[in-house]
Amino acid sequence: MARELEALGYEVSRGLGGTGVVANLPGVNPAWGIVLRADLDALPIHEANDFTHASCAHGVMHACGHDGHTVMLLGAARLLKTLPQLPGSVHFVFQPGEEGGAGARKMIDDGLFERFPTEAVFGMHNWPGLAAGHFGLRRGAVMAAGSRFRITVTGKGAHAAQPHLGLDPMPLACSMVLQCQTISARHKDPVDPAGMPLLSRAS
């Protein structure tokens, strides 16, 4: 990304948040600006297709469309470079670490907004169900986010022939999994999209 941006004539800052890249398009008032942001990171998944845009790195793919986001932001940088000078600056931010949730914080801690004064940050996520050239908007959250939590259920072992001497944690653990599925159905407004899938369990 940095090389492509430099080829377009941008001054590029590298290394924010580790591997983040920022290109700056100065406006008439350099103290005022906006951020256009795309996420860079891939997922540790092998890409099992033969698309022309398939990953070249074995065991890693952009399964969540971040390669598309990156290309779209590069396209915006190319287009805006051809326009007359804008009233304020535009900062093109290529953010690492979106999937783990820490990349934005690392860039901020590295002085992103001190170096690039910003009034607003704009980002988007591709949506294959929408026709090309269309944007989908809604008030509030649009997409789900993952959260990590741990619940420990402690039992007491016993011989299978003497279950009354133990404390079996499995019925409680299974019931908890089932009850989690009622959170969306019984504790959220039906018109407010919500889901709570559980992705792992260990004993």
Does pLDDT of 35 surpass 80?
yes
Does pLDDT of 202 surpass 70?
no
Summarised one tens digit per residue, pLDDT across range 161-184 is: 999 999 999 999 889 888 888 887
Average pLDDT, the chain: 88
Determine the pLDDT at residue 41. 83
Whole-model pTM: value is 0.76
The CATH number of 2-123, from 3.40.630.10, 3.40.50.1360, 3.50.50.60, 3.30.1490.20, is 3.40.630.10
Listed in order, the ranges of the chain carrying CATH 3.40.630.10 are: 2-123
Average pLDDT over residues 122-151: 83
Summarised one tens digit per residue, pLDDT across range 50-92 is: 888 788 888 888 888 888 899 999 999 999 999 999 999 999 9
Tokens 């350099």 identify what position? 30
| Residue among 68, 76, 95 nearest 8 (CA) | 76
More confident residue, 53 or 8: 8
- Kindly indicate the confidence band of residue 27, based on its pLDDT and cuts at 50, 70 and 90: very high
Determine the pLDDT at residue 21. 95
Residue type, 123: G
